[in-house]
Amino acid sequence: MLVFYKERLAFLSVPKTGTTAYETALAPHADMVISEPPMLKHAPVYRYNRFIRPMFERVCDVELEVMAVMREPVSWLGSWYRYRQRPFMEGKSNSTHGISFDEFVLAYMKGNKPGFADVGSQFQFMKTQPNGTGVTHFFRYEDQPKLKSFLEDRLKVELTLAQENVSPKMALSLSDDVARRFKKKCAEEFDLYASIS
């Protein structure tokens, strides 16, 4: 998570959406950089609302706008699947070695997810809280020019980005049946993504 006090902006770090590269590029310009531990680096809206927002509201009397990046839901799961295919993951409980992408997505849809498919939810990460705190600026991972342009304009910087924390490359395909079931079961993920212009 990055906070830019003067620009009144908090940049939430949704896992597997390329935010580590932005963190590296923007850290020198940020007033607050939370890069560890992962549960704070990747603090969702509800955690931001509980811990970060009150600090700025009570001490500085300011409300920050919140931005977040969302990845197309199948692509997002594909990135997690590939990330957990890294060689050193083999044999670990959250490894996807020996598991097909269809099996991974089917396991993700279970109420009690096995460790290898327990990767959270972009929708839940960005869910608006009862007090109205939510994401002010949504961006699609697939539209990097728009995201980069927004940040450069808002922060008055010129960004040079490097790829970081990249999942291994591999061809993935989801069967039509599993894709249909995923879209039905996790409709809120697809609806949120579709709402981002």
The 10s digit of each residue's pLDDT in 64-80 is 999 999 999 999 999 99
33-58 per-position pLDDT tens digit: 999 999 999 999 999 999 999 999 99
The domain defined by 2-195 folds into: Rossmann fold (3.40.50)
pLDDT at 167: 74
Q: How many CB atoms lie within 10 A of CB 197?
A: 8
Q: With beta carbons less than 8 A apart as the criterion, state whether 119 and 108 touch.
A: yes
Distance from C-alpha of 79 to C-alpha of 16, rounded to nearest angstrom? 7
Least confident of 85-99, 134-148, 175-189: 85-99
pLDDT at 14 over 90: yes
Confidence check: pLDDT of 25 > 90: yes
With a pLDDT cut of 90, the percent of the chain lying above it is: 91
d(CA 56, CA 20): 24
Q: How confident is the model at residue 162, as a pLDDT?
A: 82
* Chain CA centroid to CA 94, Å: 19
- Residues 105-115, mean pLDDT to the nearest whole number: 96
Locate the domains of the chain by residue range. Answer: 2-195
Does the pLDDT value for residue 152 go beyond 80?
yes
116 by Cβ neighbours in 10 Å (0-12 / 13-18 / 19+) ranks as buried
Return phi, psi of residue 9, to 5°. Answer: -140, 135
Which letter does DSSP use for residue 31 in this model? S
pLDDT of residue 164 exceeding 80: no
Name the CA dihedral angle for 66, 46, 69, 65, rounded to a multiple of 10 degrees: 0
Helices 73-83 and 187-195 sit at what angle, rounded to 10 degrees?
Answer: 110
**166 pLDDT more than 80:** no
Average pLDDT, the chain: 95
pTM of the model: 0.94
Contacts of residues 141-150 at CB distance under 8 Å and 24 or more positions apart, as own/partner, are: 141/17, 141/18, 141/69, 141/70, 141/71, 141/72, 141/75, 141/76, 142/71, 142/72, 142/75, 144/18, 147/69, 150/67
